[in-house]
Amino acid sequence: MGSPTTRLRRLRRNPTLRRMVRETYLRADDLIMPLFVRGGSRVRKEIPSMPGQYQFSCDTLVEEAKSVEAAGVPAIILFGIPDEKDAVGSQAYASDAVVCRAVEAVKKACPALCVVTDVCLCEYTDHGHCGIIKPNRDGNPDVDNDSTVEVLVKEALAHARAGADVVAPSDMMDGRVGAIRKALDATGLPDVAIMAYSAKFASGFYGPFRDAAESPPQFGDRSSYQMDHPNVREAMREIELDLEEGADIVMVKPAIAYLDVIRQASERFDAPVAAYNVSGEYAMIKAAAARGWLDEKRIVLEVLTAIRRAGAKLILTYWAKDAARWLT
Ligand code: PBG
């Protein structure tokens, strides 16, 4: 019979048995590929801090969406970079907004590809914050919750009318999920789902994204609306509220440093939990791999499987296309 260690090792030594007793699977169907779209044509501009990721124009975005779909990835999430930014993010909800045109073009070329849109103002405001700025009680500029929610509703409706399958509010304002759900239902768009960035932490890991979306905050930071990173109970309250308001999928973000939050959320709630493997997590591994310090494919499959093992059903990751190819 051997010692207890040997008994366990028997299952590992035999490759077929090892495969049979695997507990967690990573599949291409679990993945969502983030893509950035801007104006112009034939644009494919690499993002310096995110090697292998690009800002696309609508035409090149459609080509990329086709190649993502061909790799077996079922969904993309789109981020728009407008030509012009202003204080109130008007380009977020214009019917000719770059994201709306991109959604229409992608849905026409790839009708079966699930198109998610990021609903937020930070890409569209000249100050780079996720909402409308008003003086707070101390007279300092701060993001105003309720006037921001009104604009987010307009933005979500514009994306849904353009054909988005899912809208994903990432702003962390209170009450936005309920307001968006109500507006979608009232507009005859009850089938459009909501993936809420519910537990979104104020994190240093978003640095490269702000290059990609050209959206660093021009003053202050996002700690008045994003969550304080040591808090997990508060994350559960955020998720619970979003579910009560009608979220279909809830998200934890970032992923790697928040696996415990993903685990608790997946044990506590029956809704699918998504995790966002964010830009900084991507950049770290890319940088180390470029120096030959890490084996990219091996590390990425290990990390993505760990996020699944923690309990995430879906993973938003810049490696979605590569990982889908590696998995086949
Ligand atoms: C906000 C948004 C951000 C990310 C996704 N949506 C930036 C932020 O909150 O500062 C970050 C994603 C990443 O880092 O990969 N619209």
Confidence (pLDDT) at 217: 85
> How far apart are the C-alpha atoms of 168 and 153, rounded to whole Å?
11
| 108 flagged as catalytic | no
User: What is the residue with the minimal CA distance to atom 11 of ligand 1?
Assistant: 206
Cα–Cα distances in Å, from 326 out to 20, 25, 298, 310? 20, 13, 10, 21
Cβ of 281 closer than 6 Å to ligand 1, yes or no, is no
Is the CB of residue 119 less than 8 Å from the CB of residue 127? no
pLDDT along the chain (328 residues), means of 10: 74 91 96 97 96 98 98 98 92 92 98 97 91 89 91 96 97 94 98 97 94 85 91 98 98 98 98 98 98 98 98 98 97
Is the CB of residue 255 less than 8 Å from the CB of residue 16? no
User: What is the residue with the minimal CA distance to atom 14 of ligand 1?
Assistant: 206
Backbone torsion region of residue 206, taken as left when φ is above 0, otherwise alpha when ψ lies between -120 and 50, otherwise beta: alpha
Residue 34 belongs to what H/E stretch?
strand 31-38
Is the CB of residue 321 less than 8 Å from the CB of residue 64? no
Of the residues 85, 107, 253, 286, only one is catalytic, namely: 253
Cβ of 209 closer than 6 Å to ligand 1, yes or no, is yes
> How far apart are the C-alpha atoms of 193 and 243, rounded to whole Å?
12
CA angle 179, 184, 186 (to 5 degrees): 95
Ordered DSSP codes for 295-326:
-HHHHHHHHHHHHHHHT-SEEEETTHHHHHHH
> How far apart are the C-alpha atoms of 168 and 166, rounded to whole Å?
6
CA angle 20, 315, 287 (to 5 degrees): 100
Domains and CATH numbers, the chain: 24-327 (3.20.20.70)
**Residue 219 CA neighbour count, 13 Å, CB half:** 7
Is the CB of residue 73 less than 8 Å from the CB of residue 324? yes
Is the CB of residue 115 less than 8 Å from the CB of residue 78? yes
Is the CB of residue 99 less than 8 Å from the CB of residue 159? yes
Paired tokens of 238: 């955020």
Give me the residues paired with residue 236 across strands.
none
Cβ of 170 closer than 6 Å to ligand 1, yes or no, is yes
**Nearest in space to 250 (alpha carbons), one of 202, 310, 313:** 313
Cα(113) to ligand 1 centroid in Å equals: 22
Model pLDDT for residues 273-312, shown as the tens digit of each residue: 999 999 999 999 999 999 999 999 999 999 999 999 999 9
Of the residues 200, 286, 313, 321, only one is catalytic, namely: 200
Give SS3 for 270. coil
> How far apart are the C-alpha atoms of 125 and 132, rounded to whole Å?
8
Ordered DSSP codes for 170-208:
-S--TTHHHHHHHHHHHTT-TT-EEEEEEEEB--GGGHH
Cβ of 118 closer than 6 Å to ligand 1, yes or no, is yes
Paired tokens of 210: 């702000």
Burial zone of 288 (CB within 10 Å; 0-12 exposed, 13-18 middle, 19+ buried): middle
Give SS3 for 41. coil
User: What is the residue with the minimal CA distance to atom 8 of ligand 1?
Assistant: 206
